[in-house]
Structure 1
Amino acid sequence: MFSTSYQSYTFYARDLTLSLQRKAEDPIVAREAEYYKQTIGSITTLDEFMADDRIYNYAMKAYGLEEMGYAKALIRKVLESDLTDSNSFANRLEDTKYRTLAAAYDFGKTVASKAVQTSTQIDNLIETYSQTIADNDEVLKQETAYYRAASAGITEVDDIFKNTRLRDYVFQTFKIDPETYDYDTIKNVITSDISDPSSFVNTEYVPKILEWDTTLLNLYDERILPGNTAADRERIDYLIAQYSKMIDKANSYFELAASFNFNPDGALDPDLPVQTEAQQDMVTERYVFDQPRLTTTGALLNKAYYEEQIGSITTIDDLLDNGRMATMMLESFGISLNTSRADIEWTLQQDPSDPASPVHEKGAAFVALAAAFNFESDGTLAAGVPAQDPDQLFAMLSEYIVRFDDADEKADEDTIKNYKRYIGLTASLDDFLSPAGAAVVVREFALKAFNISPDEISTYKLKKIFTSDPYDPNSYLNSLGDERFVRLAKSFNFAPDGTIGTPRFAQSENEITRLSKAYYVEMTRLDDSEAAKDKAEDEVSYYRSQLQTLETVDEIVANPRLVDFLLIAEGLDPADVTPETLRSVLLSDLQDPQSFANTQGDIRLQKLAGSFNFNADGFVEAARETGVQNDRGQIETTNFYLTQMLEEEAGQDNVGARLALYFQRMAPSINSVYTILADNALAEFIRTSFSIPAETASSDIDMQAALLEDRFDIEDLQDPEKVDAMIQRFLALHDLENGTVSPVLSVFSGNTNINYETVAALAQLRTGSAF
């Protein structure tokens, strides 16, 4: 049709989009594309893929590997490659077409399997647990400071109920449920005078406590009766637990009543504060010490208490009879709280300054304990000598502040170790919610990570939470209005029916790997220094870590590092794509021809849209069953096939035009002269462009590489103007060498001399990379 390569090339290249659209309308091309689209989604295994000749051949042509279609053993090894493994077969081949082919499909090598939690979710839960512990101390300080300030303004009992924050502080201190409490009862308790026999708490609860105590004694007697069955003991234990709770609750009411100075009518006497300083200290200390674990705030309260009391200690018995002080003393020196009183008393009677003292045989901790006090051998103090001088007191309490949570930290280590051991045994939601010991460890650890007390939520409610969709604003979970439960549900992968589901990731492992490799190659293409490689690897690690927890499109758009990573990896300039454009792309429905990504005329944007698992609202959705290829892969394969068919059509008229179109398409992805040498079509283009004799193709590979490097800089292939200049040079030289009519080069025919052995040899030439 055209007399020169230039004319033919210009016909196709001047409006490539229009040329591709025209080719897509070709009946044969359209028929094959439709078959591929309708069939690929039903293929689930590599055997099925390779057994369907139309699908297999379509893919081979799309990825420029049609001439290797006969080598099914090689192609199978490529498609079985794990692209996360730098030593896998596809990664060791120099020709990038093989890796592109492998990345277009997922035959189970990198697909995420069903798991109750991924390793990232486990790590994040453990981190949340640790952070919750750290945050709790700050919450204690803030809430206590607020309570002290707000309580000073109370003038009547209803002021407590009107201020929910103040009320909840009081309720938590005395274990009153703010959701189910009875206003009249709690008001009557707070306004009771425990010294008045006729007050509400005394008339209402003293008789009940006596009755419950009697019932408990009878139950304990009943439990040891001979002939009791396991069911009998279980019933009795349940009743004992219930009566014990009722007694504890009643006793708590007495303490609540003693904490305030209201009259029975809820008012205050003019000369009496709502709480004395001692009463306020009692409430705030109880609030702090009733937490699941001792925090720094509690340790400082203990320190202040110890400093206040130590001056009144005159004997060892005084010290050991004060459980709070004795516990602090043992914790300061890392001595087990199970150590007998007799051993501690004996230690405090020893003289550690005497090298012959037997205390030295007990170990350094006991020596330090003896040295921290000044007791005589009879357990008393010499006249005028304090139990501890200022230096001893300071040294011991400094150790206490360092060590007060050692036992909790050791318990945390054990709990985390057990959690990691047991979580993998969870086979369903029923397992997770069961009373088995391992399940209790797992469940309570998860609840504590989000500051949820096991006592505040039932198994029934937990089941509804875990089978609810956290991304549906109308779900049961979101109707609770409690972010703690939403975060809890997102930390696990239970399906709506209670089975173990597939983790929700914004991208599949296959897509993360593909983009990571593309980004790394792009960032090290022209700079192979260690610094450039390290920086690229850091960005890859960052991207991967973020994608493990990312939940919405907006989280990507708001993160410049993620935006730049995505666009660069897909061959786009971040300066050309605004965050708003990217958001519209990622929310596009690729099944809708009028969606934003489909109307932009840039396949790279379509590929980005097809690479993620976002729903129309921008939330990560459960991975859809897409067979062995996702939307991105199908778009890419169809486009590649169309491009190959267009180039083939150009080659039927003029092989020079085909070579030029092919080079124009591949140039941006070339990062090594070995990539050119591994591709006969690219090598032919370069040899013609720089008048390199064809005979050099049979010479030593390294010599060929040196020859190419001497002719041009690989960096030139990233410059569109220089690429265009090379194409114009090639077209002119090709026409000069071949005249206006040229036979189709064997490089594009079935007679190619590329074979399995050649590919294997070239695999050894590839330089190392991070992937």
Structure 2
Amino acid sequence: MISTYLGYVTATKDMATTLARVAKQASVKSDQQYYDTHIGKIKNVDEFLADQKLYSYAMKAYGLEDMTYAKAFMKKVLTSDLSNSSSFANKLNDNRYRQFAAAFNFTANSTKPAAQSDAQKNDTIGLYERSFANEATLAKKESAFYSSWIDKATNVDDIVNSTRMRDYVLTAHGLDATHISKSFLKSVLTSDLNDPNSFVNTASNFSSTSAQATYKLIASEFGFKPDGTLSGATAQTAQQKEALISRYDNTVPTLTTLASATSNDQYYHQQIGKVRSADDITGDNRLFSYVKSAFGVNSKVTAKQFSLAVSDKNYAFVTGMTEMVSAFNFSPDGSLPAGQPAQTDASIKTTSDKYMAHYADARQTLFKDAETHYAAVVGKIKTINDFFAANDFQSKDLPTVQEMALRAYGIDKNELSREQLRKILESDPYDSKSYVGSLKDQRFVDLAKAFNFDSKGHLRPAVEALPLASMNSFVSAYSKAKTFGLTGQMREKAVKDVKDAANNFIKSIGKVKSVDDLLADKKLTDFILVANNIDPKTVDKNTLKKAFTSDPEDAKGFLNSPAGQKFKAMVSVFNFDSKGNLTNSKISTSQNKGTRLATDDLYLHQSLESQQGASNDGIRLALYFQRKAPQVNSVYDIMADPALYNVIKTTFSLPSAMSNMDVTRQAKMLEKLFPVKDLHDPAKVNNLLKRFSAVYDAANGVNTNSPGSAILTGGSNIGMSADLLLSIAQLRSR
């Protein structure tokens, strides 16, 4: 019989090679191939339990082979809510059950797919809000371009034939360029304001007097002759250009910033003295918007509605415009009585004060109402048809789900047809060969990632960095690591700290889109390491990145090297590809790829340990201890596991009667023998197991002259204090 020492050293010298050799064994290879081929086809826990070969394989992998018969019991384990400390699996003392439940997607708290997860919803809403801030920045860039370009214009055609410039001029005045022809704009720009018969002075050319006032304003801002040539050195004077750019910068942003509000207020003070009729207010989009904002009137109120309010006090009252109308001296027909200004000095000050106090109300109201509505509607979407139906029947005062989503990802609402949008949302954004991938536009890819529709328009699970079962398992493991063995106030404080850390973990992990995101958050990575029994102080960021981007199936890769093996189980459960980005290729209904690989790995370990144990149980114990040591957080973990305790008792020649002692006393004695933290150090564990091997061989008459016997006389740095030796001696004498 081979010695324990030699068997252990041979097997662990290159564990990756040892396991690869086991994997090639016919029976092991057959079992693994069957499992890998069929586990992805399982849709629910009952199908899993009904496939005896699959079920038995998994039970053996997690060391639960002796419980294979107890299917009803195991179903309760597999469907336990791991986020609930009182759930069935979490209440069991044996940690193997919790690990088993976490390896599959059958847990009771596995939520049904949603159109958007909370993280996706928050991302979309956040980007939607940010888009308004981006408008101001983009407006400044467009204005800088216009400022340089307009000085080079030599003819009116330079403007009307340039889509970009035509849009700029019309947008500055609140007009939709898509509804205005080139010839119409040219006629406006070449009109002579002093000629009563010119285009802009002919009322029949316009739908209303307010529209006519707007186009008169545009004509006044340029210097073109009726033939389209310049009337001066440039198309605009420096003053005209500055005024138009200021108008654009303050019109384009949908929501007003403080800088824009201040500029608008200055503009109001400059223009209000020039107003001679209600049409002068409504004909200037910037001025009209200012007045509506000052008095809290709906921004969608039209010029015609304002005119009706001026002429009819009852209409003004019903529509909530009484205060606004009363601030002006307009007659019912919209004109001003002879000699009277549009507003008194007192009214001007009141209007200005109201505007500066309330200009941001529109932003707050829009965000609050739109986002509340968005979250409620998205929560009811079950298919792609629901998504489009929600856009067909929404309040006219709020943006639709589609409008908010498109705006959030920088897509114009008129840029895509409904059919194109459907194809994008039903496409796989993680596949470069899919429809959305073929468009080569990151905006569309990001939009597809923001929703969870499959190729048929049905809901699929959200692609997140960490599966829910693994997330709950990490929280449970972290809690155990931080609170085990503590009592009284120390435990109360630890429990509170754990709760705070877990809440931060759950909140933060949902935002992670890449390995870089993960590693940038030290609190997050520390939590994950502790949950996997790895001391954060012993790991640097470069090592972690190497681990997360390594292929666990590569026998020669980092994760299968001595230095990387301790990270293998941890990183395998994350949904990252080899470049460190999110991927959906690892997600499956019953068991994700990471946990399947972990199950296969455990099965190989179990097979190795069983085979070695058939000839020498000491080798099995040593290999088992090496595998489980990183998961030990307390001497109580050792005492609860007969195999682990057997190794410790053998290594330190502890009497069998010790197991009959009071549990607390046993724990204190074990704590004096070795620091539990040493079990997270592979080198120290290796030394301990070499000593175990030598002692086991000596006690069982196996190869007592093996090299391991030297450890008995000085090869180990672990010793016993005098009082501990005395306690052991007393136990032996009983």
* TM-score range relative to shorter protein: 0.7 to 0.9
Q: Do 2:174 and 2:285's aligned partners in 1 also have CA atoms closer than 8 Å? A: no
Partner of 2:48: 49
Task: Find out whether 1:29 has 2:36 as its counterpart.
Answer: no
Partner of 1:709: 671
1:619 Cα deviation after fit: 5.5
Residue identity opposite 2:12 in structure 1:
A
- Tell me the distance in 2 between the aligned counterparts of 1:48 and 1:522: 34
Residue identity opposite 1:643 in structure 2:
H
- Tell me the distance in 1 between the aligned counterparts of 2:464 and 2:236: 55
Q: Could you report, residue by residue, the CA deviation over 1:481-508 in whole angstroms, capped at 9, with x for unpaired residues? A: 7665554443222333333343233442
Q: 2:634 aligns with which of 665, 672, 692?
A: 672
- Tell me the distance in 2 between the aligned counterparts of 1:548 and 1:331: 38
Residues 388/194 of structure 1: CA separation in 2 closer, same or farther (3 Å cut): closer
Structure 1 range deviating more: 9-18 or 675-684:
9-18
Partner of 1:351: none
Q: Do 1:597 and 1:609's aligned partners in 2 also have CA atoms closer than 8 Å? A: no
Residues 6/490 of structure 1: CA separation in 2 closer, same or farther (3 Å cut): closer
Q: Do 1:648 and 1:658's aligned partners in 2 also have CA atoms closer than 8 Å? A: yes
Q: 2:459 aligns with which of 494, 500, 506?
A: 500
Residues 475/412 of structure 1: CA separation in 2 closer, same or farther (3 Å cut): same
Partner of 2:725: none
- Tell me the distance in 1 between the aligned counterparts of 2:583 and 2:687: 47
Residues 110/609 of structure 1: CA separation in 2 closer, same or farther (3 Å cut): same
Task: Find out whether 1:723 has 2:682 as its counterpart.
Answer: no
Q: Do 2:547 and 2:568's aligned partners in 1 also have CA atoms closer than 8 Å? A: no
Q: 2:468 aligns with which of 496, 509, 532?
A: 509
Partner of 2:103: 104
Task: Find out whether 1:438 has 2:379 as its counterpart.
Answer: no
What SS does the aligned partner of 2:18 have? helix
Residue identity opposite 2:592 in structure 1:
N
Mapping for residues 604-643 of structure 1, pairs under 5 Å: 607=569, 610-613=572-575, 620-622=582-584, 626-643=588-605
1:55 Cα deviation after fit: 3.0
Q: Do 1:520 and 1:533's aligned partners in 2 also have CA atoms closer than 8 Å? A: yes
Task: Find out whether 1:682 has 2:638 as its counterpart.
Answer: no
Residues 669/479 of structure 1: CA separation in 2 closer, same or farther (3 Å cut): closer
Mapping for residues 124-523 of structure 1, pairs under 5 Å: 124-141=123-140, 143-144=142-143, 147-148=146-147, 151-152=150-151, 154-157=153-156, 160=159, 166=165, 168-173=167-172, 189-193=188-192, 201=199, 209=205, 256-270=218-232, 274-275=236-237, 277=239, 281=243, 284-285=246-247, 288-289=250-251, 292-308=254-270, 397=352, 400-434=355-389, 436-438=392-394, 441-450=400-409, 454=413, 458-471=417-430, 477=436, 485-515=444-474
Q: Could you report, residue by residue, the CA deviation over 1:712-739 in whole angstroms, capped at 9, with x for unpaired residues? A: 2212222334323332443344345444
- Tell me the distance in 2 between the aligned counterparts of 1:625 and 1:288: 48
Residues 452/417 of structure 1: CA separation in 2 closer, same or farther (3 Å cut): same
Partner of 2:711: none
Q: Could you report, residue by residue, the CA deviation over 1:215-254 in whole angstroms, capped at 9, with x for unpaired residues? A: xxxxxxxxxxxxxxxxxxxxxxxxxxxxx9xx99998766
Residues 463/21 of structure 1: CA separation in 2 closer, same or farther (3 Å cut): closer
Residues 486/22 of structure 1: CA separation in 2 closer, same or farther (3 Å cut): closer
1:679 Cα deviation after fit: 0.6
Q: Do 1:5 and 1:731's aligned partners in 2 also have CA atoms closer than 8 Å? A: yes
- Tell me the distance in 1 between the aligned counterparts of 2:217 and 2:566: 69
1:513 Cα deviation after fit: 3.6
Structure 1 range deviating more: 9-18 or 111-120:
9-18
- Tell me the distance in 2 between the aligned counterparts of 1:252 and 1:478: 45
1:127 Cα deviation after fit: 2.0
Residues 652/526 of structure 1: CA separation in 2 closer, same or farther (3 Å cut): same
Q: Could you report, residue by residue, the CA deviation over 1:633-688 in whole angstroms, capped at 9, with x for unpaired residues? A: 22222222222232223333332332222222211210011111111111122223
Q: How many residues align?
A: 668
Task: Find out whether 1:700 has 2:699 as its counterpart.
Answer: no
Partner of 1:65: 64
Q: Do 1:552 and 1:618's aligned partners in 2 also have CA atoms closer than 8 Å? A: yes
Partner of 2:119: 120
Residues 63/494 of structure 1: CA separation in 2 closer, same or farther (3 Å cut): closer
Q: Do 1:515 and 1:566's aligned partners in 2 also have CA atoms closer than 8 Å? A: yes
Partner of 1:9: 8
Q: 1:656 aligns with which of 618, 639, 649?
A: 618
Q: Do 2:470 and 2:573's aligned partners in 1 also have CA atoms closer than 8 Å? A: yes
- What TM-score, normalized by structure 2, do the two folds share? 0.73
Let me know the Cα RMSD of the aligned residues.
5.3
Residue identity opposite 2:394 in structure 1:
A
- Tell me the distance in 2 between the aligned counterparts of 1:567 and 1:709: 24
- Tell me the distance in 2 between the aligned counterparts of 1:557 and 1:653: 45
- What TM-score, normalized by structure 1, do the two folds share? 0.70
Give 5+ residue unaligned stretches, structure 2: 314-321, 329-336, 338-342, 705-734
- Tell me the distance in 1 between the aligned counterparts of 2:275 and 2:186: 41
Q: Do 1:688 and 1:733's aligned partners in 2 also have CA atoms closer than 8 Å? A: yes
Structure 1 range deviating more: 542-551 or 677-686:
542-551
1:6 Cα deviation after fit: 3.0
Residues 264/322 of structure 1: CA separation in 2 closer, same or farther (3 Å cut): closer
- Tell me the distance in 1 between the aligned counterparts of 2:484 and 2:238: 74
Identity %: 33
- Tell me the distance in 1 between the aligned counterparts of 2:281 and 2:174: 31
1:83 Cα deviation after fit: 2.0
Structure 1 range deviating more: 442-451 or 89-98:
442-451
Residues 618/206 of structure 1: CA separation in 2 closer, same or farther (3 Å cut): farther
1:600 Cα deviation after fit: 5.7
Residues 89/288 of structure 1: CA separation in 2 closer, same or farther (3 Å cut): same
1:560 Cα deviation after fit: 7.4
Residues 75/502 of structure 1: CA separation in 2 closer, same or farther (3 Å cut): closer
